[in-house]
Amino acid sequence: MQKLIITAAMVGAETTRTTQPNLPVTPDEIAQAAFACYQAGASIIHLHVRNDDGTPTQSRERYRQTIAKIQERCDVIVQVSTGGAVGMPVEERLQPVELKPEMATLTCGTVNFGKDVFMNSPGDLIAFAEALKQNGVRPEFEIFDAGMIENALHLHALGLVEPPFHFDFVLGVPGALPATPKNLLFLQESIPSGASWCVAGIGRHQLPMAVLAVTLGGHVRVGFEDNVYYRKGELATSNAQLVARIVRIASELDRAVATPAEARAMLGIPRHLQQP
């Protein structure tokens, strides 16, 4: 089995300080939290940024400041969000890609998202894939529902993305594919051989989906973007606490955890370049 890549999704766009008082918001807070996650065993930081008042933003400048502060502390892989928050236009969502980060998300279709609709039209997917290609950024395909895998492969047919492919199955969003073992197995079987996958279980599904991924040879995403609890009724004290639990479980199951350098090799990321 490949070494385990742990992604920390520490911020997101929807989680608030009201639901999780330890949510990092400022560039300094996010960089400190990223370093703690790296020390705990995360090799990828899935990055969203916020304004000082806590509202979500895709500001290129805010991403630039935050990435610089992360890179001052450690060589973790920074994967910027191109999802942003529901309702943001494509141009706004694409701002952090101009910084040429090592990775970015690419959501592969439109999906109901709680009471909202997370829009990703066929034309949007092409715009995201073109921007990532132009800037030399490795995509992580965000798969909220089974049909999105086909949309990702269509981008390959158009010559916009190249293997090795990496998929993130986001399971348990209200309105999207439920987080069940059966669905996870189905998705695992539905991606091309040679592709890698990660699972991000939402809410109470985060831990059981992660444990399944550790045993099946997939990779794991944890953090406050997807889940704010350590266990039922008990808030997590930090994102790093959630990462550390996965490292302990992986150790018990004899699954070694990847360093950022090992994750780069597995994901086809050529080498680590500091941001200008």
CA distances from 141 to 51, 75, 153, 255 (A): 26, 23, 10, 24
Q: Which residue stretch of 64-72, 79-87, 198-206, 244-252 sits at the interface with Zn ion (rule: CB under 5 A)?
A: 79-87
Q: Return the CA Rg of the chain.
A: 17
Closer to ligand KMH by CB, 12 or 27: give it.
12
Pick from Zn ion, ligand KMH, none: which does 82 bind, CB < 5 to 8 A by kind? ligand KMH
Binding site partner of 119, from Zn ion, ligand KMH, none, Cβ cut-off 5-8 A by kind: none
Q: Which is nearer to Zn ion, 49 or 244 (CB)?
A: 49
- Residue numbers at the binding site for ligand KMH (CB under 6 A): 12-14, 81-83, 85-86, 105, 107, 113, 118, 142
Residues 6+ apart with CB under 8 A from 78: 44, 45, 47, 67, 70, 71, 101, 102, 103
Q: Which is nearer to ligand KMH, 13 or 220 (CB)?
A: 13
Token pair in block for residue 259:
């360093």
Which listed range, 76-84, 111-119, 168-176, 214-222, lies at the site for Zn ion (CB under 5 A)?
76-84
Q: How far is the CB of 86 from Zn ion (least distance, A)?
A: 11
Total site size for Zn ion, rule CB under 5 A: 2
Indicate which of ligand KMH, Zn ion, none lies near residue 142 (CB less than 5 to 8 Å, by partner kind): ligand KMH
Residue 272 amino acid letter: H
Exposure on the CB side of residue 107, measured as CA atoms within 13 A: 25
Q: Could you say whether residue 81 binds Zn ion (CB under 5 A)?
A: yes
Shortest reach from residue 208's CB to ligand KMH, in Å: 21
Where on the chain is the footprint of Zn ion (CB under 5 A)?
A: 81, 83
